[in-house]
Each structure stands twice: as structure tokens, then as C-alpha cells.
Amino acid sequence: MKLATLKDGSRDGRLIVVTRDLTQYADAGEVARTLQAALDDWPATAPKLTRLAESLEAGSVPSEPFDPRHVHSPLPRAYQWADGSAYVNHVELVRRARNADMPTTFWTDPLMYQGGSDSFLAPCDPILAADERFGIDMEGEVAVIVDDVAMGATSRQAREAIRLVMLVNDVSLRGLIPDELAKGFGFFQSKPSSSFSPVAVTVDELGDAWKDGKVHLPLLVSMNGIPFGRANAGRDMTFDFGQLVSHAAKTRPLAAGSIIGSGTVSNKRDGGPGKPIVEGGDGYSCIAEIRMIETIEHGGPKTPYLHFGDRVRIEMKDKHGASIFGAIEQTVRRYAGDERQ
């Protein structure tokens, strides 16, 4: 089934079930008011939501047209957002671009950072930043939402706790990263609010594309309508979602509704870095990656980070060409003071 969260003026929105083709929705309030409430009691709510989704597909419950501009991220705020960096190819490029060796343990011990989860952006909300010089970048990723995971869960146990899959735009402020990481405490100001796809789906919706804890489909990233990336999320993913969730749960339990991300999807090409789509490659899921390749090849980056007014679109299609999660589609805008209050 496919779940989404309708904006209704409240902080957590209202849970809805969406048709497979993303055209209609039915209110799920009788099962659970919010997605977090559904996740808090998944064994009880999931069967009811599944029945509602079946009735919706059959046209036997009242429905409304689905519009991704009217939804929040599936969890408008969450108790946890932890983002891995499972495409180690990408990490290796980051290091090469600054002439640093990558420790070999990076192939066996996942990188993961704790992200802010209190105020996500909706999938069609603008990306607000005070200054273009922050180096505004998108990062196209896949993420899972888990049920309760016990401390010390194995990768297999962790994979069984995966309840929903969605896409992420892990917005990054590249200009703030070097100084922040140099302080030694990880990302904070360099990782502003992320946004997630309009719809989160159960793994069965992915069919054959969900295998070994990975989503084996291209992640379609475009900028201002021009294709920028189509890297396959199932390729070159060194750690599957089971391993990432298990890593997160090594020393503490994870609560239902925790979101674990894959990190920027990135594919190698002939054992080396990828190529732009215009050159016949599969492109990139973030601007930083092409800039790193430009730095390695030409001594410096050429592609600029995002400007105010630029549009980013992140989507994934099934083998028949149908959008699975709906599209994250955001425009970068200048932040000119508090627009919330």
C-alpha cells in the first residue's frame, strides 16, 4: 500500500491511503489519525490500512483526487532521522577530490550521521536558504521507516523491521561542511531540513525491485527540467538497509517511526566515477559528485551549486514507467526571515 500525510493545518497532518497510480486517496483517520500513530501500533493498524487500500483500488470507499502539492513529507516530523552513506563509491570520490586516502574500514563499517528530524520540508515546499554562498545542494536518496528495533539487532532482524520505503532530498549546504566537520562533531548547520517523497510505500509495492534490502531501480534526478542523474539505487550500495538499520541499533534501540537513509545514490562506471547523462552516463544524485569529478579531472569544479530559482526533481519509476513514490519537486528560494510565524 501507499501512504501519505495530508496537510490540514496541524503539525502532523492527516494519514491518507493513496491509489497505486497516485491519482486518488481515501482518508485513513478511522484507522489512525497520523502516520506516526499507525507506526506506533503497526501490527494492529497495518491490516486495516491494507484493507482500506484494497477498497480504494476497488473504488468501494469515498475518494478524492491526490495532489502531491497538498501533502507533507509522510512523517512531517519524526523521532529519528539517521542517514547512512552506503554508496561508498561516492565517499571514495569525496576523498580523492581532496587528495585524502579513504580508510579501508569504510567498506565494512557504515558511515552514518544523526540528522535533524523535527521540521522536515514537504515534497513540494521551497528549499529556503539565507545565502547562495552556503553552497546549496540536493542529495537524492532512498530511505526506510522502521518499526521498533531492539538494541543489538542483527542485519536480518533489522531488515524484517522495515515497514515503509520512500525517497529523500537530503538538502546539504556544501559551503558549511568543511568547517563544520573540522570541528569533529559531525554535521549540524550544514544539514538543513530534508524533504521526503509525497508517498511512502510498503516493500511489497516494489515487487522484484526490492531485493536483498535494496531498491533495484534508477533514481531519477533532474535540475530545471534537465535530467541530471539516473543512478540505480540497487547498484554499488555497499551496505543494504538491514545493515544500515543494524548499525544504527548497535548501542540503543530504535523507536517505531525512525527513518534510516541510504546516503546519496551513486554508481561507478567501468570501475571509475560516473559520467554525465549527456555523455551517455547515468549522471549523479547530487551536484557535489560532479564537482568532485571535475576537480579530479580538471583541477577544479565547474558545475555551480543551486541558485535561487533553481528547481530540483527526484523521482523513481517502476519497470512500466509509473512513478512509485510521486516526485519531490522543490524550488530554491531566498530565506528572508521567518515565514512561519
Name which position in 189, 302, 304, 334 contacts a second copy (CB under 8 A): 189
d(CA 14, CA 28): 8
Q: Residue count of the chain, please give it.
A: 341
Question: Residue 219 forms beta bridges with which residues?
Answer: 316
To a second copy, the closest distance from the beta carbon of 208 in angstroms equals 31
User: Segment contacting a second copy (CB under 8 A): 21-29, 50-58, 214-222, 249-257?
Assistant: 249-257
To a second copy, the closest distance from the beta carbon of 79 in angstroms equals 4
Alpha helices, DSSP H only, in the chain?
Answer: 35-40, 42-58, 88-97, 155-160, 177-182, 241-248, 287-298
Q: Is 306 in the site for a second copy (CB under 8 A)?
A: no
Site string for a second copy, 67-86 (x = CB under 8 A): ----------xxxx-x--x-
Site string for a second copy, 149-178 (x = CB under 8 A): -xxxx-------------------x--x--
Q: Please name the amino acid found at residue 224.
A: N
Q: Is the distance from CB of 130 to CB of 253 less than 8 angstroms?
A: no
Site string for a second copy, 272-301 (x = CB under 8 A): ------------------------------
Give the three cell numbers for residue 270.
567501468
Toward a second copy, which CB reaches closer, 1 or 173?
173
Name which position in 68, 140, 192, 198 contacts a second copy (CB under 8 A): 192
Name which position in 204, 208, 280, 341 contacts a second copy (CB under 8 A): 341
Q: Which residues contact 223 (CB under 8 A, 6 or more apart)?
A: 306, 310, 311, 312, 313
Q: Is the distance from CB of 221 to CB of 138 less than 8 angstroms?
A: yes
Binding-site size, a second copy (CB under 8 A): 58
Q: Which 3 state secondary structure label does DSSP give 319?
A: coil
To a second copy, the closest distance from the beta carbon of 188 in angstroms equals 5
Site string for a second copy, 116-155 (x = CB under 8 A): xxxx--------xxx---x-------------x-xxxx--
Q: Is 308 in the site for a second copy (CB under 8 A)?
A: no
Q: Please name the amino acid found at residue 285.
A: S
Please report, as residue ranges, which positions from 29 to 58 form the binding site for a second copy (by CB under 8 A).
Answer: 40
Q: Is the distance from CB of 167 to CB of 196 less than 8 angstroms?
A: yes
d(CA 34, CA 37): 5
d(CA 145, CA 134): 30
d(CA 280, CA 144): 30
Name which position in 248, 286, 287, 324 contacts a second copy (CB under 8 A): 248
**Interface residues with a second copy (CB under 8 A)?**
11, 40, 77-80, 82, 85, 103, 106, 109, 111-119, 128-130, 134, 148, 150-153, 173, 176, 181-190, 192-193, 247-248, 250-255, 257-258, 335, 337-338, 340-341
